[in-house]
Amino acid sequence: MEFLIGSKIGFLVIVVIGYVAAFFLVGHFKRKMLAKADQTASPLDDKIVPWAARLTRLFLLYIAITVGLSQFGVNVAIMGSVIGFFGLAFGMGSKDIVSDVWASFKTMITRPYKIGDVVDFKKSGVKGQVLDITFFYILVSNGEGGTVFLSLRNAVSENIEIP
């Protein structure tokens, strides 16, 4: 196995193992988690499992490529620092998205309303039946034949009446 260290073949072996782990193992756990999510009443579980599986796959591929590049002698500490810097810049620029994701987790945990409930969001003046709940917004039928997309960030901070 020592002939693989520091060679192109070693890099390829590590990346292929990472690829297999990322796609086949995570896919297996995704199928198991989706089967469990189908047994719950909340439709949000069905949306979170694929999202978490994609994030896990990307993370495993990043680790495999980083380990593979270290076999070539690339300084991966610098690469991690650069990625961390861009992650910080992206995080600061996307505070609204992070706020929406946090609101969706809060909605998923507390489950104050579900699809089909008639709700009244007092601050925004939106009243109607909940048609869909996604990661970033709630789709509400306003009763006049129209639909309203209400941001979860705004919906979590409102007083809600469920008649």
Average pLDDT of 90-109?
78
Q: What is the pLDDT of residue 43?
A: 67
Task: Give the domain extent around 36.
Answer: 2-93
- Specify whether 28 is located in the same domain as 79: yes
Q: What is the CATH number of the domain that holds 23?
A: 1.10.287
Number of compact structural domains in the chain: 2
CA neighbor of 102 nearest in space, from 91, 89, 113: 91
- 156 to 32, 69, 159: CA distances (angstroms): 31, 44, 8
Tell me, yes or no, whether 135 lies in a domain.
yes
How far apart CA 151 and CA 154 sit, in angstroms, is 5
Specify whether the backbone of 77 is left (phi greater than 0), alpha (psi in -120 to 50) or beta: alpha
Q: Does residue 108 lie within any of the structural domains? A: no
* Predicted confidence (pLDDT) per residue in 45-70, tens digit: 677 778 888 888 888 888 878 877 77
- pTM for the model stands at 0.50
Q: What is the CATH number of the domain that holds 149?
A: 2.30.30.60
Residues 19 and 60 in one domain: yes
Question: Does some domain include residue 121?
Answer: yes
Domain boundary among 36, 60, 93: 93
Q: How far apart are CA 137 and CA 151, in angstroms?
A: 4
Percent of the chain with pLDDT over 90: 0
Kindly state whether residues 75 and 143 are assigned to the same domain: no
pLDDT of residue 3: 47
pLDDT at res. 88: 86
Q: What sign does the dihedral 53-55-59-62 (CA atoms) show? A: positive
Q: Give yes or no: residues 64 and 118 share one domain.
A: no
Whether residue 26 is contained in a domain is answered as yes
Does residue 30 form part of some domain? yes
Residue 111 pLDDT > 80: no
